[in-house]
Amino acid sequence: MKVARRVCAAEAEVLAQSDAVSWVDAGSGERRVRLAGYGSLLSVASARRTCPQLRHHRLAWVQGYRRIFCLVSLTCVRRGPPYADWRTREVAACAAFPGDSEDRLAVALFDIPASELQAYLERESRYEFTVVNCLEADSSGIRKAIMCVAPFDRWAVACPIREQGPLHDAGCWHWYSGPLWRKDVLPSAPYLHLCLRAAAAFDVLDEFLDASYLADGCTTLRSYLRSLDQWGPAADPISLEKTRKLQGSADGSFLIFAAGNWN
């Protein structure tokens, strides 16, 4: 698969100037930008926390990509357990990687005003950005959109995980100073459950389970969840009811955090 041009967050506004992914709204006169999200952005509530004026949050498909849970989520690390658990290595958010031509990634396609683009780029600042072709599920039309992807060259060789003490005064680096992109981490449990609920709401849970991989790049999410004691040996390892049982604290604090930023 030919990999499209990728840019860092500081340069991503250049992508948004293309008429392929942005346009001037006839009603308001404002410029809008089309985005594609495949992790927590599958949840409209989570996406709206960053981009409150988003519109047309709908299902689409991106060919030739797969999800890998290999990014240490600094937001989860800052929050601590259960969002990041170093003992079990459950600290990771997902990222999109080029896969085989047969791979198909379910994404949420939506548009935002250009004034909210910076907030989106800050949310996804650990990623790189590219323009992808999205096949809309409801119309079969092809739309181009900006999507964040993994910086493939930083996917580090597996190295020991350890909890870091304070090293800096500002930002998330106060809690963690190791490599962000790793092959030895597992999905953050609350982050994963948010993604599963969002995928179930789009009726693409099977796709999410089979087109998503652990940080080793080989183990499917379905296989991983079947290996966990709480899922049991049932033929269907995930259901919406099962994800509800693992949403977090009984006081609803997880539901509040679920709508926020994860990376």
CA distance 128 to 135: 21
**Which pLDDT does position 234 carry in this prediction?**
46
Question: What is the per-residue pLDDT across 33-46, written as a single tens digit (0 to 9) for each?
Answer: 999 999 999 999 99
Residue 16's Cβ-count burial label (10 Å; 0-12, 13-18, 19+) is: buried
CA distance 82 to 249: 9
The average pLDDT across 163-187 equals: 66
DSSP run (H or E) holding 67: strand 65-72
The average pLDDT across 5-11 equals: 88
Asked if the model's pLDDT at residue 156 lies above 80, the reply is no
Question: Mean pLDDT lowest for which of 46-50, 55-59, 96-100, 254-258?
Answer: 254-258
Q: How many CA atoms lie within 13 A of 228 on its CB side?
A: 15
Question: What is the per-residue pLDDT across 224-248, written as a single tens digit (0 to 9) for each?
Answer: 999 986 554 443 544 433 443 444 4
Q: How confident is the model at residue 223 (pLDDT cuts 50, 70, 90)?
A: very high
* CATH architecture observed for domain 9-257: Roll (3.10)
Question: What is the per-residue pLDDT across 196-217, written as a single tens digit (0 to 9) for each?
Answer: 999 999 999 999 999 999 999 9
pTM to 2 decimal places: 0.83
Instruction: List, in order, residues 6 or more apart from 109 with CB less than 8 Å away.
Output: 34, 35, 36, 56, 57, 58, 59, 60, 134, 136, 143, 145
**Which pLDDT does position 152 carry in this prediction?**
75
